[in-house]
Structure 1
């Protein structure tokens, strides 16, 4: 039996930077560069409830895309975030979370999973950290 099954999601939750939904892409890009170890940025509302997700690699590619940085910098981060990320409570079963993650559309299967505690942002889990089916 693996330790993740014994101790649940809390044993694999990682920290991740969060920004408010009112931020611009420029402000969010700064946060991304301040946290180069993170694969994602969670977008939260004013009471720390997650409302969206940015995967850093995709976000950076959009930021350096052909529309030009000037246009991009002024945009609200809500225009680029995934508005329907996988969000689950920290008490959820890792097996159930993994099944939900694998049910997402192919391009999103490796996106981080947002973890909440009492509805508030608590961290993220990478799909690769979840137990593989036996």
Structure 2
């Protein structure tokens, strides 16, 4: 479940920098639930006054007499944490927790289009994070810990609203032959290793907001909000092949295949596992529904698997190959 900070922001009390401290004092006194006040110039937040910090300054020797008739810009925090509406709550949490100890529990100010939108308390942020983590754990794959089909469906519905998107369907090919040769326990290790490779390659800051899910078995799915898939796919394939040395005996690596009994009881040479990535993008295609996305992915996946080696193929490339075959 992808939650951005703006979704949990609430309208906050706002004052001008020229507001007298006595007015701020009265506001805090009259509303016991008020944690902090945002200082804005026009619609732009420029400071924050937290109740605890404000009353602490007034409690110092001569503090009350010194500040009460002065403007709030003299005592406000001039560098509060200000984040954009679209920032994921996980990232906001990291920023909030990296603040100085004295400011750990200060409000997080939220802007939208560079204008004040609201604020989020640390309590609200932690509660929402816990809610998301509990929900993800409930609907996650027990093997990989990645989100499962319920969360995947919700995420894809959101992704289809993006101006640009790439949805990556990832399959491990020849996986059954590997399981038959090396056992299900070792097969599980390959699946977990693949999950690690995918999260390392896709869930990066440059790809935000991105997503990786485990459909089940040896099938995964990932999303990125752009069309720059090539470097990502190359990285996934290269890391996948490098890690295979941990799972195969040397002889099978050198041969490039394993011998597996087919349904007729005859030994066959089956290729080592490889990885196929079907990349579905909305470059020149309208993909308004999950049904359409699934339909486009199915045909690209079939083409990937027919090549019988690690490969990634986009919907655009599939269309070109199909046109060439028709022309021939």
Same fold (TM over 0.5): yes
Question: Is the CA contact (8 Å cut-off) linking 2:3 and 2:89 kept in structure 1?
Answer: no
Residue 50 of structure 2 is aligned to residue 55 of structure 1: yes
Structure 2 partner of 1:92: 87
* TM-score normalised by length of structure 2: 0.37
* Residue 74 of structure 1, CA deviation: 1.5
Q: Which segments of 5 or more consecutive residues in structure 1 lack a partner in the other structure?
A: none
Q: Which segments of 5 or more consecutive residues in structure 2 lack a partner in the other structure?
A: 134-328
The alpha-carbon distance between structure 1 residues 69 and 106, as it changes in their structure 2 partners (threshold 3 A), is closer
Of the three residues 11, 19, 22, the one matched with 2:18 is 22
Count residues with an aligned counterpart.
Answer: 129
* Residue 68 of structure 1, CA deviation: 4.5
Structure 2 partner of 1:70: 65
Residue 38 of structure 2 is aligned to residue 35 of structure 1: no
Deviations 1:8-41 (A, max 9, x none): 2233212221100011211221222343212100
Q: Following TM superposition, where does structure 1 have runs of at least 4 consecutive aligned residues deviating by more than 6 angstroms? A: none
Q: In 1, Cα distance between the equivalents of 2:74 and 2:15? A: 14
Structure 1 partner of 2:6: 10
Relative contact order (alpha carbons < 8 A, sep ≥ 6): 1 or 2 greater?
Answer: 1
Task: Answer 1 or 2: which has greater helix percent.
Answer: 2
* TM-score normalised by length of structure 1: 0.84
Q: In 1, Cα distance between the equivalents of 2:78 and 2:63? A: 23
Compare CA radii of gyration and give the structure with the larger one.
2
Structure 1 partner of 2:311: none
Q: In 1, Cα distance between the equivalents of 2:15 and 2:24? A: 7
Secondary structure of the residue aligned to 1:41 is strand
